[in-house]
Amino acid sequence: MSRLARILALGTAAVAVAAVTAACGTQKIAVPTAEAQLHNGAVLFQERCSGCHSLSYAAAFGSAANVRTAQAINGPNFNQRCERPIDRVLYAIENGGFSGAYMPQNVVVGQDAVDVAKFVATYAGRQQPVQSGVVPCDKKPVGTLPAGSGQPNPSTGSTSTAAAAVTPPGTAVASAAGASVRRAHRHTAHS
C-alpha cells in the first residue's frame, strides 16, 4: 500500500472514530423539566436502571439489542414492553423485578420510587409493535398508586410509606397476612 493510501486510510479512520466518539453521550432525557415528577423519574431511571434496561425517554439503552446475544443481567426493553399499571411497576422496584434474580430490591425508595414508577408507567411501551387483538400500551390506563405508597395524601399533605393493599372500591381493607392466606387458599383450591 502506498504512503498516500495509508495516510488517507488513517485519516478516514480517524474521522470515523471522531464522529462515533462525538455522538457518544449526546442522548438526552426527553421528558420536559416542566413535568417535575416525570422528569425526576427519568433522571433516576437513567442513573439507576440504564445499565440493564432500555427506555429512550430516559436516554437509557441497557437492554440487549438481540435476544440471542443477551446476558443474564439484560433487563426488559421498556421502549417495546408495556408496563402498566403503575402499581405493577412500583411492585417490581420494591421487590427486585418479578423474578428477583438480578435486579436489586428497592433500587430507589420513597418518593423517588414513586417518581420512577410513574415515569416508567407513562413512557414504557410507546414503541411496542402493533399486534391485532392486543390493546396498545398508550390505550391502557396508567393507573394510580394505593394509599400509603409514598404518594402525598391530598387531604393531609403528608406522605405515608406504610404498605397498603389495592382493593376495589367499597371493599374492606384486609391485612397483608390475611390476603396472603386467601391467595394461598385459592391457589391450592384450584390446583
More confident residue, 183 or 100: 100
Residue 148 near residue 161, CB atoms below 8 Å = yes
What is the DSSP track for 120-174?
Answer: HHHHTTTTPPP-TTS--GGGS----PPTTSSPBPTTT--B--S------TTSPPP
Other beta carbons less than 10 A from residue 137's beta carbon:
20
| Segment 33-69, tens digit of pLDDT | 999 999 999 999 999 999 999 999 999 999 888 878 8
For the chain, the average pLDDT equals: 75
| Segment 134-160, tens digit of pLDDT | 999 999 999 998 776 654 433 334 343
| Domain covering 29-165, topology | Cytochrome Bc1 Complex; Chain D, domain 2 (1.10.760)
How far is the C-alpha of 24 from the C-alpha of 48, rounded, in Å? 19
| Segment 64-117, tens digit of pLDDT | 888 788 888 888 999 999 999 999 999 999 999 988 788 999 999 999 999 999
Residue 144 near residue 118, CB atoms below 8 Å = no
Please report, for the chain, the start and end positions of each structural domain, with discontinuous segments joined by +. Answer: 29-165
